[in-house]
A = this chain, B = another copy of it.
Amino acid sequence: MVTPFVAPEALKRQLGRPLDLRLGANESAFGPSPKALEAMRLRASRAQNYGDPESLDLRTAIALQEGTSVENVLVASGIDELLSLFCRLFVNPGDAVVTTLGSYPTFDFAAAGAGARIERVRYRDDQVDLDALVGLATAQHAKIVYLANPDNPSGSWQSTERIREFTRRLPANSVLLLDEAYHEFAPSNGIRVSQPPNVVRLRTFSKAHGLAGCRIGFALAHPAIVQALQKIRMHFGVNAIAQAGALASLGDPGHVQSVVERTLQGRGRVEQLARELGLCPLPSATNFVAIDVGSKERAQALLRALLEHGVFLRMPSQPPLDRCIRVTIGQPEAMERFGDIFTNLIKRGI
């Protein structure tokens, strides 16, 4: 089957044995909140009942957290579904969309599925090139500009001020899909910003909230956009167990805060490890670190060697970032084991 990524489960099948260290999909190593687990168990016990197609309790809690109103919030089965819905809403076949070469491949699937012409800008200094994005969006009359901030796979981050300025410079007819999947790990977490009507923010419970397997995320958008999506969204698409888990997780901010703190500590240790091995970690505002290993060939060789040791990592697919491997921050013990294996491989000259 064709998927935007090779999934860990597919790798396990290829490998014929379990993965010892699952550090490739930017999943949370710290799991969901115990309160989310309890809420999911409770809701599962009446799995025969349909969930609320309006996700109203969850949207109300999200609106409260984000300082917005419930009419601005749309819940869906993760950012993947939101990308697909927004591409279908805004794009007619042949319209241009603009993104960064190598950014989240699922956006490319969503755009292609809507018949879009996909135009890409290259990274500059291993960061998203905002000037080039504005230029290309203007030249191409882009219907959608897709920007991940923090960015995956680079881990880089643009400040709130820079995003605000970028937004002002976008053509009036372009909608910015601002993918903030890694938002909680960035310095801007908790800062409320005013949002122009042509900006759609995308958030997920897959990362800091540790609910990737549940498929749940949300969009913050102008009420007219939320309303327009009613015509094409999956009304009964968001499973009730995920709704219950996400709601309970929002009610346990201490858990997310602890996840972020432990992730940042682990990130520091990985950066230090890379430097000790003579490698350069790219600055990260996420739960992963891209480590520059010098060349695409070496990155590929390291990924293969790591997989032989049961370690699952991924690497960026496009230059210039394809000289990196991307390490998801795990639990301290997992990172120690990774450190040992990785050090060994580097010392063996791979």
B54 engages A27 (CB within 8 Å): no
Residues of B close to A7: CB separation below 8 A: 50, 52-54, 236
Docked Cα-Cα span, A338 to B80, in Å, equals 43
Given A3-B53, A49-B8, A50-B8, answer yes or no on A237-B44 (Cβ-Cβ < 8 Å).
Answer: no
A56 engages B13 (CB within 8 Å): yes
Residues of B close to A174: CB separation below 8 A: none
B47 engages A212 (CB within 8 Å): yes
Selected contact of A210 from candidates B48, B106, B232, CB within 8 Å: B48
Q: Give the number of times this chain occurs in the complex, counting copies.
A: 2
- The verdict on A77 contacting chain B, using a C-beta distance below 8 Å, is yes
Number of interface residues of A (CB under 8 A): 65
User: In this complex, which of A5, A230, A235 has the most chain B Cβ atoms within 10 angstroms of its Cβ?
Assistant: A235
Given A3-B235, A239-B214, answer yes or no on A46-B25 (Cβ-Cβ < 8 Å).
Answer: no
- The verdict on A215 contacting chain B, using a C-beta distance below 8 Å, is yes
Residues of B close to A4: CB separation below 8 A: 235
CB distance from A223 to the nearest CB of B (A): 11
A214 engages B25 (CB within 8 Å): no
Residues of B close to A44: CB separation below 8 A: 37, 40-41, 44, 213, 241, 245
B48 engages A80 (CB within 8 Å): no
Selected contact of A235 from candidates B25, B37, B109, CB within 8 Å: B109
A234 engages B50 (CB within 8 Å): no
Selected contact of A241 from candidates B40, B81, B231, B236, CB within 8 Å: B40
B50 engages A236 (CB within 8 Å): no
Docked Cα-Cα span, A334 to B64, in Å, equals 38
Docked Cα-Cα span, A30 to B46, in Å, equals 10
CB distance from A162 to the nearest CB of B (A): 30
A235 engages B106 (CB within 8 Å): yes
- The verdict on A163 contacting chain B, using a C-beta distance below 8 Å, is no
- The verdict on A139 contacting chain B, using a C-beta distance below 8 Å, is no
- The verdict on A281 contacting chain B, using a C-beta distance below 8 Å, is no
- The verdict on A29 contacting chain B, using a C-beta distance below 8 Å, is yes
B113 engages A232 (CB within 8 Å): yes
Q: List 27 A-B contacts (CB under 8 A).
A: A1-B53, A1-B230, A3-B235, A8-B50, A10-B52, A10-B53, A13-B56, A25-B49, A30-B48, A31-B46, A31-B48, A36-B47, A37-B47, A41-B41, A44-B245, A47-B212, A47-B245, A48-B212, A49-B213, A50-B212, A51-B213, A77-B237, A80-B235, A84-B234, A109-B231, A215-B237, A239-B242
> Top 8 closest A-B pairs, CB basis?
A213-B240, A48-B210, A9-B52, A113-B232, A2-B230, A215-B239, A28-B48, A3-B235
Q: A113-B232, A215-B236 are in contact. List 10 more A-B contacts (CB 8 A).
A: A3-B235, A5-B53, A37-B44, A40-B44, A47-B211, A47-B214, A47-B245, A88-B113, A106-B235, A112-B231
